[in-house]
Amino acid sequence: MASDNLSVILKGKGEVCLENRKLPEPLPNEVLIAIHAVGICGSDLHMYKDGKIGELLVTDSFVLGHEASGTVVKAGSKVKHLKSGDRICIEPAVPCRRCEFCLGGRYNLCLINQYDHTPIGDGSMCRYFCYDADFCHKLPDNVTLDEGALIEPLSVAVHACRRASVTAGKSVLICGAGPIGLVNFLTCKAMGVTNICITDISENRLDVAKKLGATYKLNVKDLDSKMAIEKIKSIMGGLPDITIECSGAESSVKLALLVTKSGGVVTCVGLGAPEIKIPIMEASVREVDIKGIFRYAHCYPTAIELVSSGVIDVKPLITHHFNLENMLKAFETSASGAAIKVLIHCSE
């Protein structure tokens, strides 16, 4: 094992660099992981491009990354279910395990976990990383480490689809065909939904959705809400039962509330501006449930199973690969919008 621990450090707006950090030593309940691949996510890009995420400013340097896979190098003395050589993916943000949310099973809402493993604590875009063993999920032999890095965004989709009660026979509109919209599309299909329409304002993104099997797609760039609703109604043969909003754009959230069938559900996955104007009266009088989404809870095992069984193929989403030394190019490529998922490979 090499002694260096090259890490991608964000210092502030547009300031990302490589630094050699100390090789960490696992605590008794942790494993030391040789990181294989880390995906660049929209939140990494926000922190890189804007120097902030939501209201949270980047004030101190920290290691980026939270969509990671790797191989266990050393297990702490109390770790029973993992050993050196095991291939794993990491579920970021370890909760306190004691608060009402953790004890109630919704550990993604634990207040402690919101600031662990970025935003804005040290993440996993580095050669070696120590992490709680019980938030490391073993990958089956037929799931590659590259696919393992996609389990994080796929888990977001599993959570969003579960909260929306996505099931066969429902019709689903997905707003936004970025990586998160696309994993939601794949998950809806996997859950038996056949009537799915996906929107975007970028023809390139909609082309990718089409390649993944989307039969119904709509470019909403030049459409006002009224026009978009009419088009969606005509494409889908009626209004959607469920809308999964994955862009965070104000006009898209507004459309989601207006277009969803009375009594339906809108899940807000996209995280855009902290405050936006929405037609709340529409949602109230037509009993459209608005559900927030924050990451996932108990979704990794399902996401891994969906990939290992072959029901979901995440490989077409991985469009670019860079090694750690070329991380700047990786961030530029991801920020250009030309990529779907960019992976940074961290091993030497």
Binding site for ligand NAD (CB under 6 A): 41-43, 156, 175-181, 199-202, 205, 220, 246-249, 251-252, 269-272, 293-295
Residue closer to ligand NAD, measured from CB, 252 or 260: 252
Rounded CA separation 327/10 (Å):
12
CB of 65 to ligand NAD, least distance (A): 14
Tell me the two tokens of residue 113: 């976990």
Rounded CA separation 45/28 (Å):
34
- Residue 255 and residue 229 in contact, taking contact as beta carbons nearer than 8 Å: yes
CB of 306 to ligand NAD, least distance (A): 17
Residue closer to ligand NAD, measured from CB, 128 or 322: 322
CB of 79 to ligand NAD, least distance (A): 28
The conformation of residue 324, written as its DSSP 8-state character, comes to G
Residue closer to ligand NAD, measured from CB, 148 or 176: 176
CB of 345 to ligand NAD, least distance (A): 20
Which residue number has the CB closest to ligand NAD? Answer: 178
- List the alpha helices (DSSP H) in 172-321: 179-190, 203-211, 225-236, 250-259, 280-285, 300-308
Residue closer to ligand NAD, measured from CB, 113 or 247: 247
CB of 219 to ligand NAD, least distance (A): 9
Residue closer to ligand NAD, measured from CB, 45 or 96: 45
- The H-or-E segment that residue 45 falls in is helix 42-50
Rounded CA separation 83/279 (Å):
53
Rounded CA separation 69/151 (Å):
9
